[in-house]
Structure 1
Amino acid sequence: MSAPRPLPWPLVALFTAGYLAPYLLPTTVGRLDSALPLTATEAGATGSALLLSSATAGFLLASGVDRIGPRVLARAGLALAFLGYGGATLTGSVPAVVAGVLAGGLGSGTVSAVAARGIAAQPDPHRATTAGLLGVSALAGALYLTIPHLGPGHGVPLAALALTALAVWPLTGRLSGAPTTPAVRAPARAGLGRLPRPRTGLLLAAAMPCWSLAQNALWGVSGRIGLDQAHLTEVTAGAVFAVALGAGLLGVLGAGALGARLGRAVPIGAGTALIAGCVALSASARDLWAFAAGEISWNLLYPVVLSYVIGLAASLDRRGRWAVLVGSASSLGTAAGPLTGSVLAGWAGFPAMGLFLGAVLLLVAVPMTVVALRTGSGRPLPVVEVPVRTPAVPDRRCYETASPNSYASTSAR
């Protein structure tokens, strides 16, 4: 038995730095709302703009990593993230903060694109992505426990993003510095010049915004469901979210252990159907046990299904272009999810919202499963992650951003 290959730690570090911004989005938006002269809707719109900026970078760079070079792009993205988030940390001017957040989002999206492309090309991308998921989840969890003790103000979470980008910079020296030249691409020009499997790739990319939107719509109002409908205290609701975060880490480990044993269609199709049930349960919860069961099981299943979905995208193209495009498409749904949840909850109530979102998930599971069946087993199952939401620290500001009456409810799912 051959020894396992060493993990590509520079790519794992880039993965962590690129995806940390969406993980911290709930507390970032809460701080913008409480520390700056912004309404809840304006703070939420700023958070959504960050995600849209990150998604835009992914769309623009889906085919550009090889042409420009991983090292150059990674350093440019990290520099943009450091300057953008860092600049927003040091100013109290709303226009300057918004501009810094947008610049930082572009930087995060650029770094994520380099990580996604590099991991998709690894001989064993599953291990690399599992390490990245664990890294960003652990770092985000530690920051959620630390940030409330570092004082008020909008700059603390933004400073954490900027310092993470700075800390990862030295590892970029181990990335390839040269772009892929036409001579190098020539032997595989026919297979790599154009996106392979365009129909299946487009079908998956079209389904992902709906898949992501449905789940983030619920997450955007989960805090209010716990406080207002399930009649929990902030401490109890925070404990549920903390356990849910731990369940999410178990889900990451479970996805790594399961690997390709069940193929892709079963985890994607059956897993999404189970998530639909969890969404409906959480939205209709009127006591602690129903709320905890829905939130914890949802967080347990989500990373498992997500890893197979984006792993499927990575398997469509060894250069990782579909992985980047599908991840960016998912970010679009993430950005629109909170507004959708707030509107639906205010119009029809939480239980009806949950049923509607569950139905959406069941519908989009069909084309996603069809793509998985048509693609077959192919190469060893790769797993590449897109921005995932993480429970917010049990802080009143975060719950306030999840109000069904405001657009400020945002997530990093």
Structure 2
Amino acid sequence: MAARRLACEILGQVIHSRQPLDDSLDADRGPAGLAELSDKDRALVRAILGTALRQRGRIAAILDRLLERPIPEKSGAVLDLLHVAATQILFMEVPDRAAVATAMEIAGADPRIRRYKGLVNAVLRRAARDRETLLAETDQPWRTAPVWMFARWQKAHGEETAQAIARMHLHEPNLDICVKADPDLWAERLGATRIAGNTLRLTAHRGRVDALPGYADGAWWVQDAAASLPARLIGDVAGKRVADLCAAPGGKTAQLAAAGAAVTAVDISETRLERLRANLARLGLLAEIVAADLLTFEPATPFDAILLDAPCTATGTIRRHPEVAWNRRKEDIAAFAERQAALLERAAGWLAPGGVLVYCTCSLEPEEGEARIAAFLADRPEFRRVPVDENETGVPGSVTDAGDLRTLPCLLPRDPAAGGGLDGFFAARLKRV
């Protein structure tokens, strides 16, 4: 009962207040009562919300079929309750009777929903009765994202690729880790597959990460395979002064430090930098850490290399953060692109002649990737693109015609499909000449 009630509350925070799911599920920052749940019930909350968000488009279509008219409180608690209960009935191994009964208890205890108890009961019973028909009628991959977002992917990446991206969003991501050394040894110890470079993939792991061998010893850190690529594009960084901009939570900082760079890690969030410090301490790695806004930050001397992981809509991370599909707005893309242009312009001024700047975002939107670099190069003739070679990435199909890195969730295919995929990233390598 408590777990399902909290699932409704958190879903409302994520959808209506656009709060990141990980923040809402954090025992310290989440809603009252979350910390008191048992590990089993917290896992249930996470499972319900993950499924509800991955299947949100499909569930919404089913509820539209079952509701004779829209609920007046269209964005309120009634729909949140219906989504949580329908998730259990349609996609989880929860007895229909239990899912309906629990939803009715929650409705009866909530004054915002109480007068809709009869409606909630009728809709959920019909969902249970007609489950197979309803699922068959709504079995289209594009429903893993809003129509406007999927239409953008169709235009940018083509129909077939857009459908493949959407299908991958139905799968929870695998656990990818980056090891400091001896990747083959750690692959054997952890039963993992070596993806590229020092990145390993554990396809069957669903337990506590900190319980795995090597974690406490600082042998590796968690980092998606795609997220590890931009830092590798800089090349040999040993002995060089390298800036990692927008650095938290620190995977790229760890990569650069482990490769021998003198890293300056800059991020605007002191809270996020605390996590970076903790990761570096566990890994036994060093870096200069600066809490600052890049629009006002001024380094003392130019850097030999710069990695700018710019803030973005993060639509390439929907596998990992399914709420991104539903709490982003069309207008967010232009707002992020404007900020990215300003940050790239600032960072370019801190690069020493002959130095390399890698710009990257975890977005599938061209305005935050290809278009951003085209505009920058048109304005800054002292920079040129250094094309990426597919041999550098180890990911087939990850390099654009222009020579930039572009990973997609549907790359790294595996059988079964749940064993493949990676985050969607764009990266361009630029040299000051």
TM-score bracket for the superposition, by shorter chain length:
under 0.3
Output the TM-score relative to the length of structure 1. Answer: 0.27
Structure label with greater radius of gyration: 2
Output the TM-score relative to the length of structure 2. Answer: 0.26
